Structure 1
Amino acid sequence: MNFSRTARMALVFAITYCMAFTTYSQDNTAPAQPAAKAAAQDAGPAANTVPAQVTENSDAGPGAAQAEPAAAPAKEEAKADKKKEGKKEKFDWKKSHIVDVANAFVKEITASNYEAAYKMGGTILREKRTLEEFTADMKKWAFDRPGKVEWDNGNNALPVNNGFKLMGKYTPKEGVAFPVYMHLEGDAHVDGKTRNREWSAKTKWTVMDYRSAKSMMSRVSDGSSTILDKILLVCAIGLLIALLGLIIGYMRGLKGHPRELWLMFFTKLTEYSAYGAASSIFVIFLQQDVIMGGEPLGDTNGYMYYMIWGMVATIITMMVGAVCDTIGVKQCLLIGAVMLLISRFCTPLSQDIWVVTFLGFLPLAFGFAITGPVLKVGIKWFTTLKTATLGFGLFYTLMNVGFTVGAEIADYFRKHHADGMEIFGIEMTTYQAIIGVGFLINIPDFIAILIMREGAEMTENGVVIRKKDGLSGEALSTELKSNVAERRQKMIREFIRSVIATVIVGLVAVAFIYAEVHTWKVGVVKSGIYFWSFVITAGILAVGGIIYAIMSLLGSLNTGASLDRVMKSVRDATEETIRQLKENFSQKPFWIYMAMLGILTFVKLAFYIFHVMFPSYATRVFGYDFPVVSLFGTLNPAMIVFLVPLVSVLTIRIRSYSMLIFGTFLSALSVFICFIPDGLALAIGDTWFGTWLFDYWVEAPVGNQDPFVISLVLFIIVFTIGEAIWSPRLMQFSAEIAPKGKEGAYISLAVLPYFLGKIGATVMADILTEKYFASGMTEFPDHEMAWLWIAIMCLISPIGMVVFKGTFTASEQMAEDEANAVRKAETA
């Protein structure tokens, strides 16, 4: 396949995409600007890695030195440029009074003047702890020894960014240095609703908490470990051994398979590490970093952009997936890898919506569309019928390991590079840097694909290298040449229909502009913006139809060549999907199948909510320094890796439908754990569980240890256990109730309910954001209510499975009877 042609196709597609979105959003600037301005509060200003040397006797002044008068015009010009780009002035914490406050507090602690430090602390510090408790904490963290602190990092912290978190290294005069952190409130004496959170030299800082950030391994190595440390260490070693044993078990079963299988597994691990790092921050990146008209997109526009991109990416996947059959696994993976490299290289270079779309999200969509299906097809090519199960098992394990690694990468950058990075003179935001890491991860991925052999395949008799079948290629060329006139007529009709559809969508868009549809609202429901989103999507699909027809016509000019064959594959895949829909729509089993998948979609959408809504929710409700990615992105896949094989072994004799009901009920009801009484959550927080969560993981200061976080983590744990029960059985049940010989068609169409469900879930996320934790709010008294609506959504799945139990079990029994009849016929 000629890559330059593919690139040109992507570029044309991107131009239309951006023109439609820009037209809509520029007419929507009135409602978008206030949200965008407030959204800037969510960005963590701070992690400058140049150390600020601080000693016990620091004499630094309370503010930064004033600039030279001659430099004032240049500074004003720089500020104007930043405002033009939609950026917020950074808070230079190293030159602010915050360093002096932290310094003075540390000085009193190292001198054992605990009462003086206690009085220097803020109101929350004194309210939450007595002097005796405070003193005990300082001694527990080994701060009672003379030494000094070097602050080298900092970022916004606390709910609604009410404070700041300094991070540094404490070096005692005797002993080994260790990391520390301090939370400080800004202008705590001012009412929360009127507080200015754009910190400056005039901000009054008060200490909330001061703690050690020693890692578990550091405490074990220096002899200061606790019983909890030892228990966690034993568990970690045990889980690591179990993971290695699981992977080695798969590898033994796959011994003798071609190297392409292992290279593909490596590709899987690297790609899902890159994707796992970026997937949970895509929406917040769009909302805060992507600039259009001098302002960030804001909440609603960010959600809608992501929804439209997701719909377009899914449709591209359905159309392009069949290209693998034409050009092979290696060529498909190479094209996908190049697309992903382009996307992850270019996205960090600019915040402009045109650049981000042209060279970022559209290549990403094509990369996912090509790479995703091919990785699954590759397992089929590189395994036998007997070993395919092992191949998919290792595939699933590495996918979850990749997600876990990616989540940790994302939160590492959010913590240590909260103010972004500068590489070769190019400034990147935190989220651009996270996406850029994917580029570095994809480089060895690309090299691994290059090492693959073209035509490698695993057969029952061993590894073979198949050469391209010249006869079949010649036959295909002959077929394409024989019907070229007929095909061109069809392409011209498609082109005309697509042009007419584009004109109609354009007229609707013009009418929407004159009617000011973007201003339509029903309460907090921005119905006008949602209408615009569907018009934009329709426009993209209509223009996509034009590009599709043009590419087909260009391919027919050189009949039988690469482009003509590729477009034939795309056409055949599209026509086959349409044919399957038409054929199956008239069959009752298909509607039962779709109804079951549609019902189960509601509980599956909880994953989507965590990727789309949770990052914005957590940064506002819990603070920028909260681990918004790894809380779900690490906990969930890490548990799934171990739970799925265990649950599968223990429940092998239980019917799939029973497991689906039990598992979905467990997952859906787990959301209600968010509403356990605060007293119970605090009681749990006072145990080793709270120490592990608040002190070791979240690094929440005393005074900001929200009991809701305990409830949230318990909910994720129980939800994941339920997922380990129902998720593996969903695919099995899908295959079981599909009519004999139509399993592939049914499974290939299984994406439709989830595809439609994501549209509703995105709208739901926007409505919940606007109502309970909008960017302009200074308090979130009802943020828990968002989870009530999510719980109700999830409950639809198990309740629906129970209500329609008779229909679904009858289909399951019919499929089982059919399978038994086939088995008897084969043995007769």
Structure 2
Amino acid sequence: MEAYVVKETTPLKENEEYDKDYTAPTNLEQFNKSFSELLNLPRDFWLLLVSKIANFTAFNLLALSAMIFVIEVHSFTDLEAGIIMVILGLSATIYSMLFGFVPDYYGVRVSLTICNVLGCIGFGLLCIFSNRYWQIGIIILFIMLSVAVSVPGTKMAVKRYTNEKTRSIGYSVYYLAYYGSGAIAGLMIDLILSIGSENMATFRIIFGISTGMLFVAALITIFLRQLDVHTRGEEEIAVRPSSSSVWEHTKSILVLKSFWRFIILTLLIILSRCVYYHIELTLPVYMYREIEDGAHFGYMIVLHELIMIIGTPSLTILVYYFNNYSLLLLGAFISGLSPLILLFGSGYFYVSMFVIVASIGESIHAPRFIEYTLGVAPKGKEGIFLAVAASPLPLGLIISGISAGFLLGEYCPDDGERQCWMMWLIIACISLVTPVAMVVLRIFLEQPLFEPQPYVSWSKEAKSERENM
């Protein structure tokens, strides 16, 4: 059903004439103007970005070296390492569901400060304890909880500190900070492991650096203000926790059709996200075994982040030509095809081409998924939707962890005959499920412009509306 919106128009005043020479700005002109309007955003937006560069770099130092840490330092097998990744992803998923309401209830300053303090404590404890089971427990208890609170809180903060004109480019700049920190972490990991070796002493240095960065991030987030630039400008607003209980807050979302459509779309996005996790989890081990021991996988991580830094803002212009659902579909299709490149070879050239193509797909998809999320989320309930939108991160880690451990052991073992190309073919087939399903199910999954009855049929709200008709 098409939606027809009647807009109020202001009548011409007496002696006022239409400007016959006026021409509407082109899409390119609107895109360029959105960059200049970024300079008018409040200081909190830029403080947020600085804090997130420190925050993301700290977490990326662990994420990019996680498989090497558990396999080389703690001598877990490929399959055991995959199971550990599954446990980490599962814990983050549970935390996201349990604490997704925190940004809604307590605001971005409190939620982001909490996540940075938790992460700082977690990495500090990793420097102290060396037992492998204690360290895995610390990562689950502190670091994964920190990540789970950080993601929805940060995305909500970007929305609060931007308006409609700057939101698209604002999220693109946010991803510049995210991928820039990944490039920094990739270079640091490669440099530290090249100078040192795969042992506990080297990783204590990595954990110490992460502790310091999260301490700096926590100090910065203390100075963030609670704003809503779109409605109140730079007037600071009070954070008033909802008078309803957490269950009532969540229940009001569970009865919405838009929420369940979004859940299904998010589950599909998870499969597409697996490509990016295999870059972090599977690619380093693959390069060590197929190219050479000590292969510079950090350079590939930097390449990935650089493509994202260039592609994310430059490809934002596509929002003026396609809606967010179409861009999610395009990005998922490009990313799903990228692992097929490694069927033709395993050298640095083929690995680089794989990373470049996957990065182009991600630079189209990632910022638009946040915009799509906030577009379907009811006002005041964005935290729950953002928590669900963050689930491709931990759930993708679960799927990637299981498949990485199994596929590396089965097709790309440390010793024995290898058929590593088969591993990447399977990864591509899994990822391509997303764009195929999005095309087939588009009529059911895409959020309509207008929905006369927004509640699911079994809810009391829907029954009440039917009785009043």
Higher RCO (CA < 8 A, seq sep 6+): 2
Aligned equivalents of 1:371 and 1:331: distance in 2? 11
The one-letter code of the counterpart of 1:408 is: L
For 1:785 and 1:456, the matched residues in 2 are separated by 51
Alpha-carbon distance, 1:818 to partner: 5.6
Aligned to 1:613, what secondary structure does the other structure show? helix
Deviation at 1:396, TM superposition (A): 1.8
Larger Rg over CA atoms: 1
Aligned counterpart, 1:463: 234
- Counterpart pick for 1:795 among 425, 432, 437: 432
Q: 2:315 aligned with 1:647, yes or no?
A: yes
- 1:355 matched residue in structure 2: 134
Q: Cα deviation per residue 1:242-270 (whole Å; 9 max; x = unaligned)?
A: xxxxxx98785244554333222110111
Residues 780, 280 of structure 1: alpha-carbon distance in 2 compared, 3 angstrom cutoff:
farther
Map 1:51-200 onto structure 2 (within 5 A): none
What are the superposed Cα offsets for residues 459-512 of structure 1, whole Å, 9 maximum, x if unpaired?
7564334567xxx79xx9xx8xxxxxxxxxxxxxxxxxxxxxxxxxxxxxxxxx
1:47-446 alignment, distance < 5 Å? 252-255=36-39, 257-290=41-74, 296-418=75-197, 428-446=200-218
Indicate the residue corresponding to 1:624 in structure 2: 293
Instruction: Check whether the contact 2:162–2:229 (CA below 8 A) recurs between aligned residues.
Output: yes
Is the 8 Å Cα contact of residues 598 and 754 (structure 1) preserved in structure 2?
no
- Residue 604 (structure 1) shift: 1.7
Superposition deviation, residue 626 in structure 1: 0.9
Gap change, CA 1:388 and 1:725, over 3 Å in 2:
closer
Cα distance 1:713–1:575, how it changes in 2: closer, same or farther (>3 A)?
farther
Task: Give distance in 2, aligned partners of 1:646 and 1:262.
Answer: 20
Are residues 387 and 785 of structure 1, via their aligned partners in 2, closer, same or farther at CA, if it must alter by over 3 Å?
closer
Query: What does residue 772 of structure 1 align with?
Result: 411
How far does residue 390 in structure 1 lie from its aligned partner after superposition? 4.3
- Asked if the contact 2:69–2:198 (Cα under 8 Å) also holds between the matched residues in 1, the reply is no
Q: Which residue of 1 aligns with 2:22?
A: none
Distance, in Å, in 1 between the alignment partners of 2:82 and 2:188 is 23
Query: How much has 1:741 moved relative to structure 2?
Result: 7.7
Structure 2 residue runs of 5 or longer lacking an equivalent are 1-31, 453-469
Find the counterpart in structure 2 of residue 711 from structure 1. 350
The Cα shift of 1:793 comes to 1.3
What is the deviation of 1:748?
4.9
1:274–1:442 CA contact under 8 A, matched in 2: yes
SS at match of 2:277: helix
- Deviation string, structure 1 residues 518-546 (Cα, Å, up to 9, x no partner): xxxxxxxxxxxxxxxxxxxxxxxxxxxxx
1:597 and 1:655 map into 2 onto residues whose CA distance is 17
Q: List runs of 5+ in structure 1 lacking aligned partners.
A: 1-247, 291-295, 421-427, 480-567, 679-706, 820-828
Identify the structure with the greater strand proportion: 1
In structure 2, which of residues 278, 292, 295 is the aligned counterpart of residue 609 of structure 1?
278
The match for 2:442 among 792, 808, 818 is: 808
* Greater share of helix: 2
The code of the aligned residue for 2:45 comes to L
Residues 581-616 of structure 1: CA distance to partner in whole angstroms, max 9, x if unpaired? Answer: 4x25xx5x6655444443343222111222222233
Verify the 8 A CA contact 1:309 1:361 in the aligned structure 2. Answer: yes
Query: CA shift at 1:383, angstroms?
Result: 3.8
Q: Secondary structure of 2:448's match?
A: helix
Distance 1:372 1:604, change over 3 A: closer
CA distance in 2: counterparts of 1:265 and 1:329, whole angstroms = 13
> 1 CA distance for matches of 2:59 and 2:310?
21
Percent identity of equivalent pairs: 21
Report the counterpart of residue 156 of structure 1 in structure 2. none
Amino acid at match of 1:280: L
Relative to structure 1, the CA distance from residue 576 to residue 353 in structure 2 (aligned partners, 3 Å threshold; closer, same or farther) is: farther
- 2:117–2:214 Cα contact (<8 Å) kept: no
2: distance between equivalents of 1:388 and 1:399?
Answer: 16
Distance change in 2, residues 1:801/1:287 (3 Å) = same
Q: CA deviation at 1:730?
A: 4.3
TM-score (norm 2): 0.76
Cα shift readout 1:415-458 (whole Å, capped 9, x = no counterpart): 112265xxxxxxx43333223221232233233234x1665665
SS at match of 1:815: coil
For these two proteins, the number of residue pairs brought into alignment is 420
1:637, distance to aligned residue in structure 2 (A): 2.2
Quote the Cα distance in structure 1 between the aligned partners of 2:372 and 2:225: 36
Contact 1:288 1:298 survives alignment (8 Å)? no
- TM (norm. structure 1) is 0.45
What is residue 696 of structure 1 aligned with on the other side?
A: none
- Counterpart-to-counterpart distance in 1, 2:129 and 2:117: 19
- 2:418 is aligned to 781
Partners of 1:784 and 1:808 in 2: how far apart? 32
SS in 2 for 1:464: coil
Residues in 1 aligned to 2:227 and 2:444: alpha-carbon distance in whole angstroms:
43
Change (3 A) 1:613 1:673: closer
Aligned to 1:333, what secondary structure does the other structure show?
A: helix
In structure 2, C-alpha distance between the alignment counterparts of 1:654 and 1:457, rounded to whole Å: 27
Residues 267 and 303 of structure 1, relative CA distance in 2, 3 Å threshold:
same
Paired residue secondary structure (2:310): helix
Distance in 1 between the 2:192 and 2:172 partners? 31
**Cα RMSD, aligned residues only:** 3.6
